[in-house]
Amino acid sequence: MVVVWSNFAKQNLKKFIDTTLMTKENSIKYVKKLVEYVSYLDEQSFLGKVLTKYNDITIYQLIYKQHRIIYSIENNKIYIISVLHTAQSPEKTLTSIKEFFDN
């Protein structure tokens, strides 16, 4: 399977690098490791847990340290919808899912 990152997920990672209290160097290392962790989905696509269903599409979440990676699987592709800090509200997670599929 192929992992496809949405623009929204990429923006999430960039925003994390720009706003975290970590040093720039450490935040970039963290994001690289997160991306590497996500790459395991191409071989183990059901590594995450089912989060919800949206328009008959199963949405999964995968936790990496302090981040929730939200993704779906369609047509042999894994779509990374968003990457959110686990401290963010569940409503933000649901909003990001809705925006991804409604755009």
Q: Model confidence over 66-80: pLDDT tens digits?
A: 999 999 999 999 999
What's the confidence (pLDDT) of residue 37?
Answer: 96
What's the confidence (pLDDT) of residue 98?
Answer: 83
* pLDDT averaged over every residue in the chain: 91
Among residues 72, 75, 78, which one has the least CA distance to residue 101? 72
Q: How far apart are CA 83 and CA 9, in angstroms?
A: 5
3 state SS of 5: strand
- The CATH class of 2-102 is alpha beta
Strand ranges of the sheet holding 2-5, from the earlier edge strand across to the other edge: 2-5, 77-85, 67-74, 57-64, 49-54
What pTM does this model have?
Answer: 0.88
Q: Model confidence over 17-44: pLDDT tens digits?
A: 999 999 999 999 999 999 999 999 999 9
